[in-house]
Amino acid sequence: MGPELVIAGRAFIGGELKETEIGITDGKIVFIGPKADRGGDRIDIGTSRIVLPGGIDPHVHFRDPGMTQKEDFGTGSTSAICGGITCVLDMPNTKPPAMDIESIRDKKARLRKRSYCDYGLFGAITKNRSPAKIAPLVAGFKLFMGSTTGDILTNDDSAIARASQDIISSGKVLSVHAEDNNFLLHEPEYDCTDHLRNRPSAAEMNAIRRLSPYVGMKINICHITTAESLALASSLGFTTEVTMHHLMFDAGRGQSTQFKVNPPLRDIKTRESLYKSFEEGSITMIGSDHAPHTADEKSQEFDYAPSGIPGIETTMPIMMHMVRMGTIPLQRVAEMCSAAPARVFGMNKGAIEVGKDADLSIFDLRNSEQISVTKMHSKAGYTPYDGWSAVFPDMVLLRGEVQLQDGEFCGEAMGEDIIG
């Protein structure tokens, strides 16, 4: 009896593209080789397309529950699939925040059978609650050392120290919004340069420095913005995560609130230095920090507009265009978008290997197109990448089921919580 489904073509396996056949049964990869046994359906992707592991986004804000006017798990996960992402980790700063057993169980119940991609939830670290109680329910923990959307700031060394023992015992990752709140200013803001002044890079460096007592703990530094803080985090053995917007944009973007984000866009020299680190492959993974707001909210005066940039549907396609142009190797996409987040967060995903979940994203590098806000699936209704070149996936499979076909979304809400 052969596999239920066979995908035949060039696939990224073991660090290189290989002509092969991938057999899938019960949502798992059961065979990789030159010729799978005949049995079920077969998809021959031809000579121009390539099969990659499905992308994993370790940092999204799908705003569900409590802020679903901005996004919900249906629209957010649709955007994910259309961007080649088959699994996401959702942040806890929703309403109510995901910070105790009751709120996390309620969130899980709300999301069941509503997601088009697989997902895991972060639990928030707060001053007076033990992480141990929620550890079995979450994919990881999130610590906000700097104020941002939602009110779950924990910038107290004693509180972090108390939480650390429970986190270590759980074996889970602590993802950190590393901006020391003591360094943040609250002067009026009229543009991105003012926002940068209020949230200096010293805040990031000092937050990471304050985590140095926890060497050996599984700590991931989110949305890192400078090469210096990257070097410090790496020297401490922490994993690091970067966003496309911190790689591509700088504070010279002026008064447009579309570019207002926390941490802020840095100056051009800082951005270029960070981009060089990305090119060299010294950043662990990429996360979109997909943080949509409504167009009305973003159209407010700069000082009052909320911080956040949507990006889940564009991150992997922009990287694939970089591969097309020879800017980065395909290995960089497979590692930063799939293998690294799967490894860091302990998922049975992220690589085309026997036994792994059959999450696959299939691209044709000949098919470059311009990003158009009218084609995006997020409720945000805006993207700072409008007009940029990208290579979107032709086909996406989640555990062997086709969710995107010929570039068109055709999915079912079959996404599962990776924690259960």
> Which residue numbers are catalytic?
289
| Cα(133)–Cα(105) distance, integer angstroms | 12
Locate 73 and state its tokens: 């798990």
Alpha-helical segments (H) within 151-243: 157-170, 192-198, 201-210, 227-235
Residue matched to tokens 């140095």: 212
Residue pair 300/259 in contact (Cβ under 8 Å)? The answer is: no
Q: Which residues contact 25 (CB under 8 A, 6 or more apart)?
A: 3, 4, 5, 400
Locate 83 and state its tokens: 């961007």
Strands 55-60 and 360-364: unpaired
Residue pair 209/233 in contact (Cβ under 8 Å)? The answer is: no
Q: What is the DSSP string of 21-61?
A: EEEEETTEEEEEES-PPP-SEEEE--SSEEEEEPEEEEEE-
Locate 271 and state its tokens: 């951005």
| Cα(101)–Cα(107) distance, integer angstroms | 10
